[in-house]
Amino acid sequence: MHRLLVLLAVMSLMASDIAAGTAQTPPPKGDYPIVVNTAYPNDAAARAAWQPMAGSAPVSVAEVGGRKAVRMTCNFAGTNFERASWDVAVALDLVTCQGIQFRFFCRDWSPVSHFSLYFQSGKGWYAATFSPTSLSGWQTIAIPKSETTVEGSPSGWGKIERLRISAWRGQDTDVEFYIAGIGLAGTDASIVIVRADSAAPASAGEARAVSQFSQTVARALDDLDIPCLILSDRDVNAERLRGRSIAILPHNPSLPDETLDALVQFARGGGKIFCFYTLPPKLGPVIGIETGRHIAQQFDGYFSSIHFVEKALAGAPPVVDQKSWNITEAKAVPGRSRVAAFWYGSKGESTGHAAIVVSDNGGFMTHVLLGDDPAGKRRMLLAMVGHFMPGAWEQAAKASIARIGRIGPYDDFDKAKSAILGGADQGSPAGAQSAIRAASTARDEAIALRSAGRFAEALSKADAAASLTLNAYCMAQQPRPGEHRAFWCHSAFGVAGMDWDAAIKNLADNGFTAILPNMLWGGVAFYESKVLPVAPEIKEKGDQIALCVAACRKYGLKCHVWKVNWNMGSRAPKEFAERMRSEGRTQVRFDGKPENWLCPSHPENQKLEIASMVEVATKYDVDGVHFDYIRYPDNQCCFCEGCRKRFEAAAGVTVADWPRAVLRDASLRQKWLDFRRSNITTVVAAVSEAARKAKPSIKISAAVFRNWTTDRDSVGQDWKVWCDKGYLDFVCPMDYTASPAEFENMVRLQQGWAGKIPCYPGIGLSVWTPRGDICKLIEMIQITRRLGTGGFTVFNYAEFEARDVVPLCGKGITRRP
């Protein structure tokens, strides 16, 4: 089975050298149904099919090892559009496949920040981003429908009218890439996941939730090697449900009537239905489960874990962690259904509320499936699915055993084992060796159990073996002395369930050297400030900078206090935010809508930004102050009346057609972009000067967007200048991509922009899916070492990272001497 839900299903193929025009290795022929045949006879035919977007260059035909491909050239040199794009008209029904795939080659895609693929359907789009992982040859890029997000109101996967490939500008350098053989990925599956596309347009938040919760279920099933198909709720009909076993509704706040009717018919014909969080009234009687009121948590941690009733659901784990904040009450119907699991609180007490109810026709979970405890979730889903599809157990056991060795750079267990054992000569710790031997024994047992048909036990053994392998791999990593190893901490109160002392000790014990705690915003401070409004909790919980700094001094960590600049933040007191607005100090968008950000050109706002950071630098024994949001929100800000006056004065112009002219008139636009940059840079320079004057040892740093060349225009963040002029002592570009190749590309560029000052790249540990992938973190850290950055900055230090990731780092990659 192709692991389709891994965004980049990469098949390593032989290297080719298209650059020289003497490519020997053709793109491999499609072993999948082709829907766009890219073997055009000549350029004219290719150009008739592929339309460039305004500014993009026309496509051409490339002959690669005797086979045809389409060449797409991104003309980024000397132009200023943000992406190169090409559209091909299609008439595709992608309803009953998992997604699409195609062959891709690009020799060096560093001028591109990332690629996107769009599917147009009616008045909307499905969109996905992708980053190639290989620079040496053709690879297969798979775009699963489950990984797409919704823009506008698409009319479902049955009516795809257009595909669009976009390459987003990274550098002002031309680059070309090649594609071949666009085809279908994945065929029929026994399980359908009904995605609530009809509910998505209600709000951006709803669209995100719909996409996220469908993906959580799809990924868990994919990890179990159980094929599933995502169906838009607009596409569900009796025909498309025929022959399937289970329909899953992961988060469906509403459903079209025809869809409900089709599901009812499906269930009457023997199909099983699992719903999460919302049970449509029409389906309740069919499944045999009743739902009631909405129940909010009584306190944080009220719904902390799901405890299964013994023997209620064969193979279910006894406990699965999930921190939910509310549920929909559910009841079993006597004679038809039973409660299989209850919610428990953080202190191990039962809430008495049902978490999962099952019947002979399906089941209901009283909240959505969240991404925490992925192993537990997989097992729970398997028990739910396996209840109706016993074959799923064998399939999952096989997949789990195969997964044991897929870790870090290794794609099977024997390779991982021999690498970890072979590391003994180079000082691979004894702990790593004994862990991998124990993993090997557990794996053998898992294989024997599977052969004996004891699949649930085989799965448990395989999970244990995987965990031992992970430990061995982490222990086998070597630290590099002298590195700057930092974590951002987004909460001013540190890590939930730990005080600052314990949180800092955990970092220090595991070899981290610095923390960047977010202690102030544009409109609120979490310390005793004389400049900014102070958050009311400080009275009770104490001055957070003082507490954090005390712990840092005790355990030898550096403390760089992080400010979210300009953005007042949701915790800013209402009176303060209203006063700023009434005094004309907040930003106004191009369309006239207000922003919750302070206007960077207003002299009083600049003073406030500077004074608050200097206050932190001088009042506390901090090692540094750290800028964030040190930019405009986007290119649509700020068009307040004050900006008009101050821009006209600064540029020596009178703008008649405000605000349109500053964006449309080319010479005004340049002046406008310079004006925006200088408003931001002024503050960086002033903080740097004043803080250093008061405390010469202080370090000034900033979290910045990753692509200086375009971001200096779009958000006015001219951070190369801040490095060149020495305003900063180090810079942390937020390189949160999950693609190591893209990360490496970006860091290499950023090192050039940072020049003489260190660039400690930001690693997006907590924003990846699944969250907190330690193997990927290790890979990214190894890239920073290969590039010689001297350190890195991880986002974000919270409960999960403190408990599950930091100690694993401490075993090897950041181990203390």
Residues forming contacts to Zn ion in the complex (CB under 5 A) are 599, 638, 640, 643
In this complex, which beta carbon is closest to Zn ion, that of residue 640 or of residue 798? 640
Element of type H or E holding 460: helix 455-475
Report how far residue 568's alpha carbon sits from residue 220's, in angstroms, rounded to the nearest whole number: 38
Give which of 521, 484, 512, 494 is closest to 731, Cα–Cα.
Answer: 484
Per DSSP, the three-state class of 728 is coil
Q: How far is the CB of 635 from Zn ion (least distance, A)?
A: 14
In this complex, which beta carbon is closest to Zn ion, that of residue 142 or of residue 599? 599
In this complex, which beta carbon is closest to Zn ion, that of residue 398 or of residue 671? 671
Cβ pair 71, 64 in contact under 8 A = no
In this complex, which beta carbon is closest to Zn ion, that of residue 224 or of residue 638? 638
Strands (E), 575-709: 586-588, 594-598, 624-628, 699-704
In this complex, which beta carbon is closest to Zn ion, that of residue 179 or of residue 640? 640
In this complex, which beta carbon is closest to Zn ion, that of residue 643 or of residue 734? 643
Per DSSP, the three-state class of 804 is helix
End-to-end CA distance of the chain: 44
Q: How far is the CB of 637 from Zn ion (least distance, A)?
A: 7
Element of type H or E holding 49: helix 43-49
In this complex, which beta carbon is closest to Zn ion, that of residue 95 or of residue 638? 638
Cis before 256? omega within 30: no
In this complex, which beta carbon is closest to Zn ion, that of residue 118 or of residue 647? 647
Report how far residue 164's alpha carbon sits from residue 125's, in angstroms, rounded to the nearest whole number: 10
Q: How far is the CB of 626 from Zn ion (least distance, A)?
A: 25
Q: Distance of alpha carbon 34 from its chain centroid, rounded?
A: 30
Give which of 601, 582, 583 is closest to 647, Cα–Cα.
Answer: 601
Residue 79, token pair as written in the block: 């132009």
Q: How far is the CB of 402 from Zn ion (least distance, A)?
A: 57
In this complex, which beta carbon is closest to Zn ion, that of residue 38 or of residue 681? 681
What are the b/e assignments for 691-708, b being 16+ CB within 10 Å? Answer: bbeebeebbbbbbbbbbb
Q: How far is the CB of 599 from Zn ion (least distance, A)?
A: 3
In this complex, which beta carbon is closest to Zn ion, that of residue 194 or of residue 599? 599
Q: Read off the amino acid at residue 328.
A: T
Angle, CA 433 vertex, CA 427 and CA 439 arms, to 5°: 155
In this complex, which beta carbon is closest to Zn ion, that of residue 210 or of residue 640? 640
Q: Any idea of the CA torsion for 746, 748, 751, 755, to the nearest 10 degrees?
A: -130
Q: Is the dihedral of CA 501, 785, 405, 214 positive or negative?
A: positive
DSSP-H helix ranges across 165-322: 204-223, 238-241, 257-268, 284-287
In this complex, which beta carbon is closest to Zn ion, that of residue 228 or of residue 577? 577
Q: How far is the CB of 589 from Zn ion (least distance, A)?
A: 10
Q: How far is the CB of 598 from Zn ion (least distance, A)?
A: 9
Q: How far is the CB of 615 from Zn ion (least distance, A)?
A: 24
In this complex, which beta carbon is closest to Zn ion, that of residue 588 or of residue 734? 588
Q: How far is the CB of 601 from Zn ion (least distance, A)?
A: 5
Q: How far is the CB of 577 from Zn ion (least distance, A)?
A: 16
Residue 711's alpha-carbon distances to 53, 169, 263, 632, 742, in angstroms, are 22, 11, 48, 10, 17
In this complex, which beta carbon is closest to Zn ion, that of residue 47 or of residue 644? 644
Residues whose CB is less than 8 angstroms from the CB of residue 451 and which lie 6 or more positions away in sequence, other chains included: none
Q: Read off the amino acid at residue 662.
A: V
DSSP, residue by residue, 335-388: TTEEEEEEEE-TTS-EEEEEEEEEESSEEEESSPPPSSSHHHHHHHHHHHHHTT
Q: How far is the CB of 84 from Zn ion (least distance, A)?
A: 33
In this complex, which beta carbon is closest to Zn ion, that of residue 551 or of residue 599? 599
Report how far residue 621's alpha carbon sits from residue 633's, in angstroms, rounded to the nearest whole number: 31
Q: How far is the CB of 638 from Zn ion (least distance, A)?
A: 3
Q: How far is the CB of 569 from Zn ion (least distance, A)?
A: 18
Q: How far is the CB of 522 from Zn ion (least distance, A)?
A: 13
Give which of 361, 364, 124, 93 is closest to 239, Cα–Cα.
Answer: 93
Cβ pair 117, 128 in contact under 8 A = yes
Q: How far is the CB of 595 from Zn ion (least distance, A)?
A: 9
In the chain, % helix, strand, coil (3-state, to 5) comes to: 35, 25, 40
In this complex, which beta carbon is closest to Zn ion, that of residue 171 or of residue 679? 679
Strands (E), 420-496: 484-489
Report how far residue 762's alpha carbon sits from residue 789's, in angstroms, rounded to the nearest whole number: 11
Residues whose CB is less than 8 angstroms from the CB of residue 393 and which lie 6 or more positions away in sequence, other chains included: 315, 382, 386, 455, 456, 459
In this complex, which beta carbon is closest to Zn ion, that of residue 508 or of residue 598? 598
Phi, psi of 189, rounded to the nearest 5 degrees: -135, 155
In this complex, which beta carbon is closest to Zn ion, that of residue 640 or of residue 728? 640
Q: How far is the CB of 688 from Zn ion (least distance, A)?
A: 23
Q: How far is the CB of 585 from Zn ion (least distance, A)?
A: 8
Specify the DSSP class assigned to residue 675: H
Q: How far is the CB of 671 from Zn ion (least distance, A)?
A: 16
Angle, CA 338 vertex, CA 337 and CA 340 arms, to 5°: 135
Report how far residue 502's alpha carbon sits from residue 495's, in angstroms, rounded to the nearest whole number: 9
